[in-house]
Amino acid sequence: GHVYLTRPLGDVVEQFRQQLPGELRVHRTSGLPPTRQELLESVQGAEAIISLVTDRIDAEVLDAAGDQLKVVANVAVGYDNIDLDAAAERNVIVTNTPGVLDEAVADLTLALLLATTRRVAEGDRFIRTGTEWIWSPESYVGLDVSAGATLGILGLGRIGMAVAKRAQAFGMTIIATGRRAHHDDARSLGVSPASSIDELLETADIVSLHCPLTEDTKHLIGAEQLAAMKPGSYLINTARGPLVDEEALADVIDSGHLGGAGLDVHEFEPATNPRLRTMEQVVMLPHIGSAGDVTRDEMASLAFRNAIAVLNGEQPITPVG
């Protein structure tokens, strides 16, 4: 059986081509993901699928592949695009790429945090209008994150810890939810555990989301949670779009309750919310959290090493579930 890679991943792929027990087939149509039909056809007879976040790998795809399929190696830390139950029922191992992208995602989280609170993107948009301007002490005043602002990290995992490390350097007060918030390594980064999500939302000047998307976390941030957030506070999302009810978010920014939002991910990707798109207080990016040059190669490499391990009958390096 062959190994099916759903998108070209650059030079790093050549390193692994020789190590694969089977032929490598790479989907190529000018950078686009395979259509559903292309995916269903290309997986037929595959022993391994190396997938990206844009590929929905469900029972239908697994069945289209056939009984010889052994592993789905996702080139992402998130794996909400894969039906884990359907994979388990068919004895297909699923792997992801934790660890290698924590610093890159944390960097982008801080970029969004500063771009919203200090109005970086808004200022850039203004300059590009070519409007004449004279410096004013009252223009573009934003939240001073280094004056003891409180950052609330919702879902303190590896990425959240990398965000905390940066926030500590900014002198921010850091609170977090998640088991790890009670660990010594979190305490040494100045993280205090929040007693509940509600407490975190009520206390933080900036709320940053770092939890995975599951059935339980869909719309974790809805109208009620947004209303509980501190007036003038900011929401940052570099995790997964459906964690946030975007219409409810547009409502609370419209009403002036929230100071703004920084969104790298979107509820209905690749669609973005037309109301949020018109708001100066909102910064939106096209899901580029892990898009660092070194990081992208490390993600591809880890996915290939996972697939090769399983195909050789060895334990995968970073299995999911």
Per-position x/- string for 101-140, each x denoting binding to ligand GLV as judged by CB under 6 A, each - no binding: x---------------------------------------
* 47 annotated active-site: no
Least separation in angstroms between residue 220's CB and ligand GLV is 13
Using rule CB under 6 A, residue 76 touches ligand GLV: yes
Contacts of 285 (CB under 8 A, 6+ apart): 108, 112, 262, 263, 264
Task: Out of 34, 152, 160, 292, name the contact with ligand GLV by CB under 6 A.
Answer: 160
* 103 annotated active-site: no
Q: Which residue is nearest to ligand GLV (CB)?
A: 157
97 contacts 299 by C-beta, under 8 angstroms: yes
Q: What are phi and psi of 174, to 5 degrees?
A: -125, 125
100 membership: H or E segment, kind and range: none
Q: What are phi and psi of 207, to 5 degrees?
A: -105, 125
Angle, to 10 degrees, between the axis of helix 293-311 and the axis of helix 102-117?
A: 150
Per-position x/- string for 200-239, each x denoting binding to ligand GLV as judged by CB under 6 A, each - no binding: ----------x-----------------------------
Q: How far apart are CA 225 and CA 237, in angstroms?
A: 14
Catalytic choice (38, 60, 199, 269) = 269
189 contacts 165 by C-beta, under 8 angstroms: yes
Catalytic choice (25, 219, 257, 287) = 287
Binding site residues, ligand GLV, CB under 6 A: 53, 76-78, 98, 101, 155, 157-160, 210, 289-290
Q: Which residues are catalytic?
A: 240, 269, 287
